[in-house]
Amino acid sequence: MWLTPPRHLTIDIETIAGDPTEAEAAMRRSWNPNPTWKPATIGERYLQALAAKRERLALLETAPIISVALRTEADCRLLHRMPLDVAAICGVPLERLPDERGLLLQLRSYLALCGPDTVLVGHNLLHFDLPRLRLAMVRHGLQLPPCLAWPDQPTYDTMRMWRYFSGEERPCISLDECLETAGLASHKTIISGADVPTLYQEGQYQTLAAYAIADVLAQDDLYLKMTGQAMDRVGPECTGGHAVVEEAGREVAAGPNGTIPPVGEAASGDEKEMSLL
């Protein structure tokens, strides 16, 4: 556990496909057809919207959470509930929990260490990660930690704040695009958030863990640069995100005896360089 409250905490969750029946329930709650449409058009548009939602079950508010990656100024770790008994990936420790409730309980123990001035950071944090964590804890009958319950807890959503770095007023912009535009290497060319449910079904848990770590490190690096906390770049951008994912892939290919070098070797001395999601 952390000895002092972190100055900032970057959070990234990964979800898998939720219950298809809940997709229709969500559609019914949010469906608001144009009053000028004819009945046949309303029915047709509803079915189209429902089909689209069922294709993106991992984005349901109740989609199962399989991992939560955490990054502070002094620590990085992955909490997960996948059948993966690996102690660390590229020097980043992994904590395996038995189920979603156990994952949330362990996460709460870390979040409880955040102070009222700790800045919660993430990409699409305000409309994805935090709402889903709050809802999951409530559904499991768990008390919210103060940093999730306090309405005035400081937050920095890199997707929301990106408008200060772009002339375009778009409400949604992917992490991959932000990284590319900012001149940062993106691991999203290897794996994207849309691949997570399929990789989980295929049992590629180590690759998923590496992706989750790369995600949180990339988001943290983007936050530091956007808030003026990163030093000047003196050479080509490091590719830590690529390194973590690629090294995990090599370990999977090598079998149980495969090894992954420490972050210092894999990411040229900078572990932070590891789609909306």
Report yes or no on 210 lying in a domain.
Answer: yes
Structural domain boundaries, residue 127: 8-16+64-266
What phi and psi, each to the nearest 5 degrees, are found at residue 77?
A: -155, 160
Report yes or no on 73 lying in a domain.
Answer: yes
CB-based contacts of 222: which residues, under 8 Å, 6+ apart? 123, 158, 175, 178, 179, 182, 184
Report yes or no on 59 lying in a domain.
Answer: no
Report yes or no on 258 lying in a domain.
Answer: yes
At 137, which helix (H) or strand (E)? helix 130-139
Report yes or no on 218 lying in a domain.
Answer: yes
Per-residue pLDDT tens over the stretch 91-147 = 999 999 999 999 999 999 999 999 999 999 999 999 999 999 999 999 999 999 999
Give pLDDT, residue 274: 31
Q: From first to last of its 277 residues, what are the pLDDT tens digits of the chain?
A: 888 999 999 999 999 865 556 555 555 566 576 778 777 776 666 556 555 544 454 555 678 999 999 999 999 999 999 999 999 998 999 999 999 999 999 999 999 999 999 999 999 999 999 999 999 999 999 999 999 999 999 999 999 999 999 877 777 899 999 999 998 888 887 887 788 888 999 999 999 999 999 999 999 999 999 999 988 877 655 444 555 655 654 544 444 333 333 333 333 333 333 345 5
Report yes or no on 26 lying in a domain.
Answer: no
Report yes or no on 177 lying in a domain.
Answer: yes
Q: Are 160 and 259 in contact (CB under 8 A)?
A: no
Please report, for the domain that includes residue 79, its CATH number. Answer: 3.30.420.10
Taking the alpha carbons of 23, 53, 14, 18 in that order, is the dihedral positive or negative? positive
Query: What is the number of domains present in the chain?
Result: 1
Give pLDDT, residue 273: 31
Report yes or no on 228 lying in a domain.
Answer: yes
Give pLDDT, residue 213: 94
Cα 39 vs. chain centroid, distance in angstroms?
40
